[in-house]
Structure 1
């Protein structure tokens, strides 16, 4: 049974039994994945800066852990009063049940270096080591560092921290993280990890840990699991192949009575043709494996000046060997010597590029674990085969499993055996591995839009509309896809979540089946209105009163009657809808306004002409929603208002741009254009009025709204200013280049999702909209292949809801929109009875 190297913990300092003191920082991985080439280059430069920031020994390690489903549910419930949101509480509980069957995983990264205190550091390390050994031998009270020494070390650690790239947001590791790291290594592969401690600092636990001393328990390390052979008959034991037992059995400690079988694989070979970037990010590839794979880079970093001096000594040695060689054969030592010379030349060229460059000796170690020897062997074979495809060789070293196990942990000095496995490279070339790559998407809390399927590690993708607006950011989003790809499903799911969490929605529904009206009715006490066959009135004077309703009705009539605000009829309309004028004349509705304008006593110049035009629409069935006084005003306090616009045709872009075609617009298109603008203004009023409640304006088939400048302006207002009023807009349509408004609006939408587009031109335009290379054929094919259809023209089972997402932090990844936990909600969302079944 061996002791952990940790003697004492204080802040991010780890005092070891060997006398050294290590400082550790938690690093945040950065978005990579589908990032544009320019972003990928910036990420590589950030890694290069990390490997050039310190000199001497360093350890970079990334450890995997399961995500507790309960923590996911906590993120769903954060900020929600569950006592007022029964539906959301039920959804959270059903989500918890569903996540229990899924393997959710994450990876956290740390960077650790030993500290030195000038010329006296060796003496201090020896004194610490001696005090520890003496105290343990005679049963004395454990040695603990003094506060003065801690403060001195923290000053040095702070100086190192300032040299680390801010791209990775380095933060001193907490005592809790140190403990988690130690326990994780002891139970790797058993699924016993508790949640990785938060990135935020907790309470003051420094003195408590100092008094306790080491809190990492001891473990048995059994190379090759020799203790298991006791159960094997003697005859079979003699025939055991030692190469089949290249793993480590870790017993006791955090794992308790259940041993952890672990395989530690060290890199022993790289592509002979070299590593290309981008394309061979060999550490970023680790997340493509559907298993927990821990990573550690044990490094010795040397500045360029010292490395060049060492190269000159190596050059002299090689020259002597050249002079002494006698074998010139192809397979002899001369060939090996030539290869050494070639490597030395390449290293020298790399060091000559910059004075900041570093020479890095790196031992790369991968680790897998399981609860049986057979399973860990199977995992090892899969890891080796995976990396062999990229010409990287990782081998579980015979007899060195224990050495490599310790090498993955901070506080442990690099042994001679581990150093012998090191590969020689530079900071620039090692950066091409991109270890600190993240495929994280979405917010830290909110409603679950779906699962992140960018890698083999599944994590929920949260959409936090309210958190965005409260953070003074736009909460708006848009989905672009061809029909049947799943955008309407996603929009309905989001709308339902907003209502369940205490918000409200206003929807424009142009479907022939009034699908949004049916959906909203199954979610809450909604109000739906069919414009061409109305059950309520949209008369702005009756809805909002003269002060607020007058300008809205004026804008509606300006478009409907095709009059300019500055011409005679425009001036007349403005006078008639002036709030004071309406009050003086007791006008409280559009029908009363029409009767007033017809009166011979009306003092407004041009009133008769204005009334004649207005009366033409009042006599038509289309005008009923405005002029019929028998209809009750639309109740604006409902949690869901759905405006069904089927039958309201809209002009095309050509008809709006061509004066000749515009003059010949059919009545239905003239009315449709005007009523859409009216509905958009009503949505603005409803959503912007109550700043204490989140309001979401949903526009499915957004091209119906953005076809005219009047409605495009409302969309832009939601995107730009909605955050001030706790409001956001959700858009869905087919053509990202035409349907989401002008260039400014398209560029200001923070959250964007592209779902299936089989047409290559539309797929390319969608890629350009979300900020990816639309000329990349592989990306276009990715969009075309999302949620593929089978021979019967149905989406292949298990592939529903796939999309390429750009989140608010401008991170890219693949998602799969998931169905709600409640079956009744899923049935309400789907657009067809077949899909519900």
Structure 2
């Protein structure tokens, strides 16, 4: 089998430089797409401006590509283990191995963005030499015929162009083998032999040559009928490779016939290439070939066109027909077009040809996808066409270095550069990190890419790993907190979680972890005595932070000043204070001394009300809490804690009962203890988990704990994870400004849903539909009993450390024993589950 015509333009390759048979030399680069998704309009306008700078500085004949390809499962697993010593983290190694089958069933995909720019023409002798080499018996070309001086010249030209474009898209030269991969992908587009994306697992070498397979392109798929009398006029190409005749690829090329007459509003109406994502059973690539003209040339051309229209109108002056109105309309549009360039001096005119290539394993699947795309674009008032007879020419346009063909001009469109920039072709809905454990899949992009959350790697990238979660009861908040805790544990870190549930769901979960420590503050087995818990340097200050709010004392009052003096390093040493019980006894002794002031009597009375109620603070026989265990759960379900309203309303806070003051003091002490243990350079990652966010964000001590974890956690391998029902009330201060990773689960209450999306960073005035999506289409309870179907659990919105906003689905642990421990509780089957069992994965 062979080609009807020569469609592979490459004669030789040197790095990212491609030498073509026509003598053209091109340079090809990977493009880093800009975050888009659900970001605010102001951010999207920044993306548009970056594209405007791109298009106004690209040379004529440049090619923009968006290539869809399957992700290699091994590549995903490789990203999961970056920076992890699997010999030391056997539990995480088991999780990664168990993830293989689940990721394989999900079949995640990605889109690779490429930019090819012409950088010159080869010398006559060079072209002749290359041509001679090509006409030989081998398809492997030796690029050594090109001199180093010529290569440097082309590289300098490419660098000059990239310098004008700017660094927004972070172009990276492709390796030489990328051209071979791209060719094989085009030949197998959508079929079984379509190669995996060229990422880490299949790293492309930097060879200087490539071997290109041969194939037959049958336009119309005429070979499917052996007795066909007339040629087929179906706009489809059947590609058959000699070694893979049993799995042909059926492909169809679409191109825009017309765009909306009234224009395309940005943002929201002009990003027409985003429609291509999320097509099932087929692979969809796009390519755009562009050329530009500066404004002065456009204005000169407009003057000539206006003169010709004037002559035509004069010739038809006495004629009664619709033609006169048509000419007048053209004059008016030309005037508006001309004024646009006169007002915007930095504008240029863009001529672009767009090809959308759809490939599938059968003709029926491919044509169904083509018709589906046409219907989608019809809703955007964009008419797509699949021109018969030009399919092969349009197919060839997606190959870098392809010579200009008539079809490229026949289906070209012209726009001012600022309108073209509204297409924002190089954008992405990707969220999450580049590596780390897989916590879910991306639902917004349509490719089901794994969402990596490198919580333990964030510090290496100078980012905060702290995260916050919001959602209604049963939406998956607690499930997600437990998922992150067990991942931290399995990767060699440690966590401390405060369990407020009456059924002890965290205690039940911790029992599945070896050597986990469970502490009940109402029936203590350890002491939270700050004088015994903390180093002598800071023990006095930490005790004051606890005791003053507990006793309702001001640090400047008489009693407050008296206890403050006792807790200075001098006072501690002088009176031999080593514990809270010692402090109480010292105060009682000072009260009983002749001539003592009334402050000590007041202190003794206040401390006496709590000393017998809080053995966790005043029993010296209990060993102090030591946060050395890999997993620590502190149960606080018997503590009375104030509501968020009581904490933020002064008159309610002043009237707090003693039991709630005790509860708050102990809750804060746990957080302070975790801060002192985890924000220490011990080489071990520490995660503090709090399911009642307002106790960490609305009190002075709790707010300081949150701030320290958010600010300094990245320096000391630590993070805090908080959950709340209402972010507007609970996620204030550091929790709002400093915690970058945010997750929003189902929230059916309109006010809370609005608060959640605004906290996420969504502009609801520009995207009001997201409110109903969160309330009604995020893990919706349906059917009898209003249960959430297994496959819909864990849906959420998220914002990552780079402020990208997207929509995804949380996956539970791949290990069934871990998934069972997280999902189940002592009294229920886990209504808030968010796992996605491998057998129920569906695209």
TM-score by length of 1: 0.91
Q: In the alignment, is residue 251 of structure 1 matched against residue 240 of structure 2?
A: yes
Q: How does 1:490-529 map to 2 (within 5 A)?
A: 490-529=480-519
Q: What is the DSSP-based 3-state SS (H/G/I as helix, E as strand, rest coil) of the residue aligned with 2:96?
A: helix
- Give 1:783 shift: 2.2
Q: 1:94 aligns with which of 95, 98, 115?
A: 98
Unmatched 5+ residue regions in structure 2? 834-843
2:69 aligns with one of 56, 61, 65: 65
Aligned pairs for 1:704-783 (under 5 A) are: 704-742=695-733, 744-775=734-765, 776-783=767-774
Q: Secondary structure at the match of 1:643?
A: strand
2:830 is matched with which residue: 808, 814, 835?
A: 835
2: CA distance between counterparts of 1:472 and 1:730?
A: 18
Q: Distance in 2 between matches of 1:263 and 1:657?
A: 63
CA distance in 1, matches of 2:491, 2:429: 27
Q: Secondary structure at the match of 1:816?
A: strand
- 1-side partners of 2:717 and 2:370: how far apart? 52
Other-structure match for 1:823: 816
Q: Tell me the distance in 2 between the aligned counterparts of 1:321 and 1:73.
A: 68
TM-superposed deviation, 1:14: 0.8
* SS, match of residue 242 in structure 1: coil
Please say if 1:317 is aligned against 2:308: yes
Determine the structure 1 residue equivalent to 2:841.
Answer: none
Deviation at 1:42, TM superposition (A): 1.6
2:544 is paired with a residue whose SS is helix
Structure 1 residue 456 and structure 2 residue 449: aligned? no
How much does 1:461 deviate?
Answer: 1.0
Within 2, Cα distance between the matches of 1:492 and 1:741? 23
1:168-208, Cα deviation, whole Å (9 max, x unpaired): 22223332333322222122112544444459998983xx5
Q: List runs of 5+ in structure 1 lacking aligned partners.
A: none
Q: CA deviation at 1:659?
A: 6.4
Moved more, 380-389 or 66-75: 380-389
In the TM superposition, what are the counterparts of 1:362-373 in structure 2 within 5 Å? 362-373=352-363
Distance in 2 between residues matched to 1:434 and 1:655, nearest whole Å: 49
Classify the secondary structure of the residue corresponding to 2:727.
Answer: coil
For the 8 Å contact 2:31–2:170, the answer to whether it is kept is yes
* Residues 516-595 of structure 1: pairs in structure 2 closer than 5 A: 516-544=506-534, 546-579=536-569, 582=572, 587-595=577-585
Provide the residue aligned with 2:266 in structure 1: 277
Write out per-residue CA displacement over residues 632-658 of structure 1, whole angstroms, 9 at most, x where no aligned residue. 333321112222112322335665566
Could you tell me how far apart the structure 2 residues matched to 1:414 and 1:490 are? Answer: 53
Cα deviation, 1:604-625, whole Å, max 9, x if unaligned, reads: 97656534432332223xx111
The answer as to whether partners of 2:74 and 2:201 remain within 8 angstroms in 1 is: no
Contact 2:440–2:810 at 8 Å: present in 1 too? yes
Q: What secondary structure is seen at the aligned counterpart in 2 of 1:835? A: coil
CA 136–283 in structure 1, closer or farther in 2 if over 3 Å, else same: closer
Name the residue aligned to 1:353. 343
Distance 1:341 1:263 in 2: 38
Q: Which moved more, 1:729-738 or 1:708-717?
A: 708-717
Aligned 8 A contact 1:186 1:255 in 2: no
Spell out, residue by residue over 1:781-803, the C-alpha distance to the aligned partner (whole angstroms, 9 max, x if none): 22222222225232244221121
User: Is the alpha carbon distance of 1:439 and 1:692 closer, same or farther for their aligned partners in structure 2, counting shifts above 3 Å?
Assistant: same
Query: Does the alignment pair 1:16 with 2:17?
Result: no
SS for the counterpart of 2:283 is coil
Which shifted more, 300-309 or 73-82? 300-309
The 5 A counterparts of 1:138-153 are 144-153=145-154
Q: Which of 76-85 and 826-835 deviates more?
A: 826-835
Query: Which of 221, 224, 249 matches 1:225?
Result: 221
How do 1:386-535 and structure 2 match up within 5 A? 386-535=376-525
Name the structure 1 match of 2:799.
806
How far 1:379 sits from its partner (Å)? 2.2
- 1:58-116 Cα offsets, whole Å, 9 max, x none, are 21111110011111111111111111222211111121111111121111111212223
1:354-393 deviation line (CA, Å, top 9, x unaligned) = 2322222221100011222232222222222222222222
**1:574 Cα deviation after fit:** 3.4
Q: Give 1:193-272 correspondences, 5 Å limit.
A: 193-198=194-199, 205=206, 208-209=207-208, 212=209, 214-230=210-226, 234=227, 237-238=228-229, 242-244=232-234, 246-252=235-241, 258-272=247-261
In 1, Cα distance between the equivalents of 2:807 and 2:13?
40
> Partners of 1:680 and 1:515 in 2: how far apart?
20
Give the 3 Å change call, closer, same or farther, for CA 241–769 of structure 1 in structure 2.
same
Alpha-carbon deviation of 1:472? 2.7
Q: 1:673 to 1:810 in 2, by over 3 A?
A: same
Name the SS of the counterpart of 1:275 in structure 2: coil
Give yes or no for contact 1:26–1:111 (8 Å, CA) kept in 2.
yes
Counterpart in 1 of 2:158?
A: 157
Q: Deviations over 1:236-259 (max 9, x none)?
A: x23x67223x21122227967633
Match of 2:190 in 1: 189
**d(CA) in 1 for partners of 2:201 and 2:172?**
9
Q: 1:81 matched to which residue of 2?
A: 85
1:617 pairs, out of 593, 604, 610, with 610
Q: CA deviation at 1:547?
A: 3.8
> In the alignment, is the contact (CA less than 8 A) between 2:530 and 2:543 conserved in 1?
yes
Name the SS for the 1:350 alignment partner: helix
d(CA) in 1 for partners of 2:418 and 2:623? 71
Q: For this pair of structures, how many residues does the alignment match?
A: 815
**Secondary structure of 2:46 counterpart:** helix
Structure 1 residues 376 and 128: alpha-carbon distance in aligned structure 2, compared to 1, 3 A threshold: farther
Closer, same or farther: CA 519–279 of 1 in aligned 2, 3 Å? same
Residue 328 (structure 1) shift: 6.2
2:256 match: secondary structure: strand
**1:202-250 per-position Cα deviation (integer Å, ceiling 9, x unaligned):** 8983xx51xx4x53233322222333333xxx3xx23x67223x21122
CA RMSD of aligned residues (A): 2.9
Which aligned runs of 4 or more in structure 1 are off by greater than 6 angstroms?
138-143, 199-204, 326-330, 600-605
Instruction: Determine the C-alpha separation between the residues in 1 that align with 2:412 and 2:320.
Output: 28
- CA deviations on 1:264-286 (whole Å, 9 max, x unpaired) are 11221222332222222111222
Partners of 2:644 and 2:694 within 8 A in 1: no
Q: Is the 8 A contact 1:187 1:255 kept in 2?
A: no
Q: Specify whether residues 366 and 138 from structure 1 end up closer, same or farther in structure 2 by C-alpha distance, changes over 3 A only.
A: closer
Who is 2:837 aligned against? none
8 Å CA contact 2:545, 2:701 repeated in 1: no
Deviations 1:639-680 (A, max 9, x none): 122221123223356655666655543221121222222222
Q: CA separation in 2, counterparts of 1:170 and 1:417? A: 29
